Each structure stands twice: as structure tokens, then as C-alpha cells.
Chain A
Amino acid sequence: MDILIYGIINSFSLALMAIGFTLVYGISRLPNFAHGALYVITGFLVWSLIHLLKLNYVISILLALVIMGLIGAAIYRFILIRVRGMATSEIIATYALGLAILEFLRWGGFKGMTYTLPVFIEGSVNIVGIPVDFQRIIVIAVGIVVVSFMWIFTHFNKTGLALRGMAQDEHAAMMLGIDSDWMAVIAMAMGSILAGIAAITLLPLGNIVVEAGYNVLILSIAVCIVGGLGSWVGAILAAFMIGFLQIITVAYIQSHFHMVVALLAIIVTLILRPSGLFGRQKELEERV
């Protein structure tokens, strides 16, 4: 029973981490390897706003998300726009940026156990005899809200629909007056905000450490590859697969193997089904 409950929680955490990465890749074909760094920055940003500027928690969170959006947009506007279309350079540029951000934070003294964010609501509840704290329930709630918001946004909002058009056929979207660079700016801004939302909901469960940046990046990539790059449904499904596999590994094998699960998932997927769970939709496109 606790496998079920913690599996669901873990799956939602993974989905939250990965959704920003999938969004950016799905729309602009930009692999944002700075995703993990953006996640960690948000944590330190909120911490700084609370402790250095003495702002209210809620205001700090909102402010931090706005700043993340601007950072994401700036990354595209000033860096990625110059290497767009060169896949290797995109990876190098974003990974270098992520590395620079994370190691700069470490150099700046943001390390150790001192940096924590308060949980939203203290306390815990018993679900069929298993104690689950409120923060973990909030993770599930935020996950559901974010996923449904994204679904509504991309199905009913003009910009959201344009993003989907751009994701499916860039040139066809351009012919209809949708600007590729502007869509990429929006995608990067939203991707960064989503990384921020994930950080804000997940970080109160532990300390803010620089290393989390690398783990989040690996987990996001694992989820995206297993799900099929750029596919949202696939990403959510993959989040659940890897999420449960991790919890089962922790329960029956040993807890320090849980990161191995993600890496193995990447390898197995690439061997058995390189296009991922939902790569099939792309095959369909080829056929018609």
C-alpha cells in the first residue's frame, strides 16, 4: 500500500520536473540542458527573497516565478537564438550554461544543509494507516493543476494552439503568421516557470543543494526519452513508470539504486524502442 501511495507521489514529482523540459523540446526542438540549473536557481531565489529581502513567502514565490520566466526568455533571446538549428551546439550551449549556473552557485557559497524552504502547510495525515505529510499531497495537487492547466492552455488558448502548431510543423505554422522565435521565447519562458513550480513544490521536502540540479536534469531526460521526446502524454506516462519503478526498487532492493533506475530506463528504451513510448505518432505523420 505504501508503494502505491509513495509511487504516485514520486511519479507526480517526476512529471513536474520533466514537463518543462518536454514543453521546450516539443515546441522548439531545443534540448534545454540548463533545466536542472533553472530548478535550483528558483530554490535559492525564493530563499534569498525570503531571508535577504524579508518578503512574504507567497510573494517571494510569485516574484521568483516571474523572474524565472524572464530568465528563460533571456536565455533564448541572447544565447540560444545564435545556435538554433545546430543540434550539438544547442546541447553544448545549454549544458554549459547549466554547469556555469550551478558551479557559480556552489562558488557563491550556496551549499550545505543551511538552505531550506518552509513547507506550505505543516503536519501530516494518515491515509489507510500510512502517514503522508501535507507537502506531499500538495505535490500531487500541483501536478494535477499544472497538467490540466497545460492541457487547457494548449487546446483552447490562441497562443497555446499556435505552440502546438509550431511543435508539429514549423514551416506550416510560419506560413500562417506564427513567428518561430517568438514561440521559442514563450516556450523557454514557460519551461523555466514550470521548472520553478517544480522546485517550489518539491524543495520544501528537503534541502536546497546544487547537486539536485544534476539529478533533476537526468530524471527529466529519462522521463522524456522513455515517453518519446516532445510527447506530453508519453512524458506523463513515463513519469508514472519510472516513478513506480524507483519506489519498488527502494522498497525491495536498496534505496541508493533509485537513480540507477532512471539511467537504466534510458538505456533500455534506446535499445528496445528508440522513439520512446509515444514516438509512434511521428511514424503516423510519415505515413500520411
Chain B
Amino acid sequence: MLEIKNLMVFYENAVAINNINMTCQGGKVTGIFGANSAGKSTLMYTISGIILDIKKKEEMKGGERITVLGQMTFEGMDITSMKPSERAKKGIILCPERRRIFAESSTLENLKIGGYLATKTQAKKTLDYVFHIFPALNNLKGREGGFLSGGEQQMLAIGRALMAQPKLLLLDEPLLGLSPLMEAMLARAVRDINRQTGITILISEQYARPILPIVDYGYILENGGAVLEGNSQELMDNPDVKSAYFGL
């Protein structure tokens, strides 16, 4: 569904993404694992196109020079230089790191803003689905996004992304700063979303333990490059992964 070829991203002369080749199979969950500064978020921004807007803003300010090289195709279409909003229309929706909820809008409004690209019937159907998969949001409809807890915000962020009718859902560190209980609950929810709706998911996380079992295929990132790849079982059995991510 998504194919990335020879992708390189530079901030000034520092390389953030180093020659990455990867694919996301349609209908599957693909994982990206790596430590801080491995390039996970940059990769997510590059796939969703936000990097192009950051690049434009930096150029305007005379700030950092950002270079993106390589090729990305989504459903056979070249998206490398497509605007972020165009990519979202094609179905690539990013649920960003640190959630970035609209803090001054209520939960329901956050979801409605997420439904900008949806038709009325789609929006209604997805709204019901979001409340079905995250029942905790039901009682928080009127509360402002800024007053939700971290876990509630994360549920809302995923719900908001679902409202945009994604074909490929990018989840950037959805478990960041959450309790183990919430981690397990969200990992289950991600799996359920994939199974029930067939949405292709690309999930990045530095803490692999709760996520690794639910991915179909995974990549390990280190210093901007993909050093290892394989299906869930292969990664879990790999001795390097075991020592680095499971502490065994």
C-alpha cells in the first residue's frame, strides 16, 4: 500500500533518515521501533507530508535547511511532493506524537474537527464506532481537550484520526507516558481497529513490549537507518532485540 524507496532526510547536514526502504502491506499492522532520536517521528512527518510544511516555514524564517530525498508511493501514486492536506485526502492520516489535542475545544468538537474530510453519514458512523471502541470518551463529550488525562487524550487523538477516514493510519508513539494498564488497553484497541475496519496501520514506538505482539511486520530503526526487519515472531526471537527492547 505504502512503499518507501531510498528515503533520506537531512536537517542541515545532519542525517535524520538514512536511506530507508520499507513497505506497509494493505490491511496489516506495521511497526517501527527505535530509541529516541532514531528518526521515528521524522519518518512519520515525512510520510504524512508535514515535513514539507516545516521545511517551508523554516525557509521563510531563514532557519534550518531541511532536505528530503527519495521516493514514496501510496497505492501506486507518487506522493513525495504532495501537500499534507492532499495526502490526508488520499487517506494518509497521522495521529501525532504527544497527541496534540485541540485543547480549547471539547472532546466532541475535537472529533467533529477530525471529521472534516468525512461525509455526514461517514462521520456519524465513525463517531459511533469511536465511542464503541473507547467507551471512556462517552462521559467526557463536553469536557475541553486540555482537561483530559494523558490516556484519555490519546484515545481522543486516535478517535480524531479515525474520523478523518484513514486508509493508512500513522500512529506516532501512542503509548508515550501512559500507565502499563493504559498501554495494554490501547494496544488492544489498535489491534481491534485493524481487525474490525481493515485500516492499514503504521505504528511507531520506542517501548516495543506491548506493541510487538500486535504487529504483522516490524522495522528496527537506529540512527536514522533500518537495521533489522522481520515479522513479529522473528523480531521477538532475535537476540539483539531481546536484549535491547525486552531486557532479557
Contact = CB atoms under 8 A, between A and B. Distances in A.
Interface of A: 83-86, 155, 158, 161-162, 164-165, 168-169, 171-180, 182, 281, 284-285, 288
B82 to A, nearest CB: 12
A174 B88 contact: yes
B104 A281 contact: yes
A85 B96 contact: no
A171 B100 contact: yes
Interface stretch (B49-57, B187-195, B204-212): B49-57
A178 to B, nearest CB: 5
Nearest to A281: B104
Interface residues of B, number: 36
Contacts of B112: 158, 161
Interface stretch (B4-12, B113-121, B132-140): B113-121
Interface string B90-118: 00011110001111110001001111110
B100 A180 contact: no
A174 B85 contact: yes
A176 B160 contact: yes
B175 interface: no
Given A171-B53, A172-B100, A161 B109 contact: yes
B113 A173 contact: yes
A180 B86 CA distance: 11
A169 B102 contact: yes
A83 B62 CA distance: 12
Contacts of A161: 105, 109, 112-113, 116
Contacts of A164: 102, 104-105, 109, 113
A168 B109 contact: no
B48 A178 contact: no
A168 B88 contact: no
Interface of B: 48, 50, 53-54, 56-57, 60-61, 83-85, 88-89, 93-96, 100-105, 109, 112-117, 146, 153, 160-161, 163-164
Nearest to A165: B113
B109 A175 contact: no
Given A86-B61, A155-B109, A174 B103 contact: no
A288 B153 CA distance: 10
A168 to B, nearest CB: 4
Contacts of B93: 175-177
22 contacts: A84-B60, A85-B60, A155-B109, A161-B109, A161-B112, A162-B113, A164-B104, A164-B113, A165-B102, A165-B105, A165-B116, A172-B96, A172-B101, A174-B84, A174-B88, A175-B95, A176-B114, A176-B160, A177-B117, A178-B113, A179-B83, A288-B153
Contacts of B101: 172
Contacts of A176: 88, 93, 113-114, 116-117, 160-161, 163-164
Nearest to B57: A85
A85 B56 contact: yes
Contacts of B109: 155, 161, 164
A288 B145 CA distance: 10
A180 B102 contact: no
Contacts of B163: 176
A104 to B, nearest CB: 29
A40 to B, nearest CB: 30
Contacts of A169: 100, 102
A275 B160 CA distance: 30
Contacts of A84: 60
A162 B118 CA distance: 12
B102 A177 contact: no
B42 to A, nearest CB: 14
A158 B112 CA distance: 8
B116 A178 contact: yes
Give the top 6 A-B pairs by smallest Cβ distance, nearest first. A177-B88, A85-B60, A179-B85, A165-B113, A172-B100, A177-B117
Nearest to A182: B85
Nearest to A178: B116
B89 A177 contact: yes
Contacts of A162: 113, 116
B160 to A, nearest CB: 7
Contacts of B164: 176-177
A20 B104 CA distance: 20
Nearest to B90: A177
A10 B104 CA distance: 30
A25 to B, nearest CB: 16
Contacts of B60: 83-86
Nearest to B164: A176
A29 B212 CA distance: 41
Contacts of B117: 176-177
Nearest to A164: B105
Given A158-B116, A176-B88, A176-B161, A288 B146 contact: yes
